[in-house]
């Protein structure tokens, strides 16, 4: 009885955690300052979601204490010891250990969600995405992000310098943030939520094929299908409201790969769902463009002063690899140290002007070096090799995350980003039903 209650509590807590993923509610317990300036990437925080995740893990242990066993893979133990070693030799060990803790908490999340039905996990991801999409739509229409310390949301106005905007005909249009720290992260989360919705749509059709379509007209089934489509519509609007080019490109390439491969495999149910979603997205995009004409074309064509500046700054960050000697080449700058190293080279530049490399693959080479990159590659290889149900849906989602990783850094540098990666990788596995 106690075990059953613990399992139920674990499921509820993990559902709450998924809802909390985009919210930036946190306790900043230490602000690392450089020359008296607040260094955003040295801001050590305890997120509300982290507490919920750890409590969920505790209930998981209570429910499954007889099934818990330590891995016999010696490589994982070596990786753990090596990560501690890298932390200690970092220029600022406290900051590097903080980022290491984020990585291990994200790995814990990936481990835990394998013990829940994939349908349930993705239902929560779509719900979480829909909540953010509603916030994003409200922000776009009101042209304001309201500050709320309990939700971890800072105020953003289009006329304020530093706010992410799209400039159309001299007008500054606010890009939606949701509850996240940047519109691009919102776009990435919308991408993950949309893929969750497509999975739920496909799962619904599969179940109806098995049970008989006459049951689809029952009230419960109609409501379920309506909520899936509504969630996808909202998240599509949310992605467009973020004006994230990387997220849109990731969605386009992922859906194209999903469509193309399943046509060759004659998996017509998947093809049917993808085409229907593309029609939904096209209708959403048309209605969006009617309300905000020219906004997305400005982003796509990279026209105007702000777009040119954005692209120029991103390209400039690619010079921050910083392999000055054998140590930085093989062991890296240290986790979370890329902007610190850049600032150390030029302390006259304001710290907030220094951004991490906008490519996670070059960024990980910079921060963990060749050895760390090799070890991480092997971790991914082990995950893929041990996955018992690798399908095209999962690999297409990972393809999208890779595309995002080529154009931005948040999958490597943020708590929310690492959780997105966890959802993508664990999608390879068959979940416990």
Lowest mean pLDDT among 48-52, 133-137, 215-219, 408-412: 215-219
Dihedral sign for Cα atoms in the order 121, 125, 130, 132: positive
- Domain span at 127: 117-301
Does residue 396 lie within any of the structural domains?
no
pLDDT band at residue 295, thresholds of 50, 70 and 90? Answer: confident
Does residue 211 lie within any of the structural domains?
yes
Which pTM was predicted?
Answer: 0.91
Does 112 have pLDDT greater than 70? yes
Question: What is the crossing angle of helices 48-64 and 93-113, to 10°?
Answer: 50
Does 154 have pLDDT greater than 70? yes
Under DSSP, is residue 31 helix (H, G, I), strand (E, B) or coil?
strand
Does residue 403 lie within any of the structural domains?
no
Does 317 have pLDDT greater than 70? no
C-alpha count within 13 angstroms, C-beta hemisphere, residue 367: 27
Q: What is the pLDDT of residue 389?
A: 57
* Total domains present in the chain: 1
Does 254 have pLDDT greater than 90? yes
C-alpha to C-alpha distances, 324 to 92, 125, 155, 217, nearest whole angstrom: 18, 42, 40, 66
Does 216 have pLDDT greater than 80? no
Which pair of tokens denotes residue 390? 């690798």
Does residue 94 lie within any of the structural domains?
no
- Max mean pLDDT among 175-179, 258-262, 352-356 falls in 175-179
Q: What is the pLDDT of residue 75?
A: 76
Closest CA to 18 of 399, 423, 401: 423
Does residue 43 lie within any of the structural domains?
no
pLDDT digits (tens, 9 = 90+) for 263-287: 988 888 889 999 999 999 999 999 9
Lowest mean pLDDT among 302-311, 324-333, 348-357: 302-311
Q: What is the pLDDT of residue 289?
A: 93
Is 126:229 a contact under the CB 8 Å cutoff? Answer: no
* Mean pLDDT over each residue of the chain, to the nearest integer: 86
Strand segments, DSSP code E, in 54-170 are 165-168
Does residue 265 lie within any of the structural domains?
yes
Q: What is the pLDDT of residue 355?
A: 84
Phi-psi region of 404 (alpha: psi -120 to 50; beta: other; left: phi over 0): alpha
Q: What is the pLDDT of residue 379?
A: 79
Alpha-helical regions (H) of 166-267: 183-211, 219-242, 245-264
Does residue 14 lie within any of the structural domains?
no
Q: What is the pLDDT of residue 174?
A: 92
Residue 242: is it exposed, middle or buried by C-beta count within 10 angstroms (0-12/13-18/19+)?
buried
Which pair of tokens denotes residue 246? 């990387």
Q: What is the pLDDT of residue 391?
A: 67
Does residue 184 lie within any of the structural domains?
yes
pLDDT digits (tens, 9 = 90+) for 77-97: 788 888 888 889 888 999 999
Closest CA to 17 of 65, 61, 55: 55
Closest CA to 282 of 223, 232, 228: 232
Q: What is the pLDDT of residue 248?
A: 95
Does 341 have pLDDT greater than 90? no
């Amino acid at each position: 009885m106690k075990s059953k209650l613990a399992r139920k509590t674990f499921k509820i807590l993990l559902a709450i955690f998924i809802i909390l993923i985009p919210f930036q509610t946190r306790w900043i317990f230490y602000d690392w300052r450089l020359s008296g300036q607040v260094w955003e990437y040295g801001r050590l925080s305890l997120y509300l979601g982290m507490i919920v995740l750890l409590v969920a893990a505790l209930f998981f242990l209570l429910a499954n204490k007889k099934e818990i066993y330590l891995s016999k893979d010696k490589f994982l133990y070596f990786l753990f010891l090596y990560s501690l070693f890298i932390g200690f030799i970092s220029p600022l060990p406290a900051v590097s250990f903080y980022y290491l803790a984020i990585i291990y908490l994200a790995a814990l999340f990936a481990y835990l969600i394998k013990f829940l039905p994939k349908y349930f996990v993705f239902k929560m991801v779509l719900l979480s995405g829909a909540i953010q999409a509603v916030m994003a739509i409200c922000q776009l229409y009101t042209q304001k992000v309201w500050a709320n310390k309990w939700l971890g949301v800072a105020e953003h106005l289009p006329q304020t310098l530093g706010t992410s905007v799209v400039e159309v005909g001299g007008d500054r249009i606010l890009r939606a943030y949701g509850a996240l720290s940047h519109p691009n992260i919102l776009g990435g989360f919308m991408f993950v939520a949309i893929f969750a919705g497509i999975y739920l749509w496909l799962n619904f059709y599969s179940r109806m094929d098995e049970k008989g379509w006459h049951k689809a007209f029952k009230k419960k089934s109609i409501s379920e299908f309506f909520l899936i489509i509504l969630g996808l519509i909202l998240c599509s609007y949310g992605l467009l409201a973020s004006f994230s080019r990387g997220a849109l490109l990731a969605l386009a390439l992922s859906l194209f790969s999903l469509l193309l491969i399943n046509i060759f495999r004659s998996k017509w149910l998947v093809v049917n769902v993808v085409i229907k979603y593309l029609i939904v997205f096209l209708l959403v995009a048309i209605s969006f463009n009617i309300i905000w004409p020219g906004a997305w074309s400005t982003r796509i064509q990279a026209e105007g002063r702000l777009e040119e500046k954005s692209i120029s700054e991103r390209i400039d960050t690619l010079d921050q690899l910083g392999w000055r000697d054998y140590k930085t080449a093989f062991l890296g700058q240290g986790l979370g140290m890329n902007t610190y190293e850049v600032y150390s080279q030029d302390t006259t530049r304001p710290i907030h002007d220094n951004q991490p490399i906008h490519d996670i693959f070059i960024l990980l080479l910079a921060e963990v070096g060749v050895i760390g990159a090799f070890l991480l590659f092997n971790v991914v290889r082990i995950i893929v090799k041990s996955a018992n149900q690798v399908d095209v849906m999962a690999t297409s989602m990972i393809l999208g995350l890779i595309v995002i990783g080529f154009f931005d850094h948040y999958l490597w540098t943020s708590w929310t980003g690492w959780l997105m990666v966890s959802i993508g990788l664990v999608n390879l596995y068959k979940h416990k039903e």
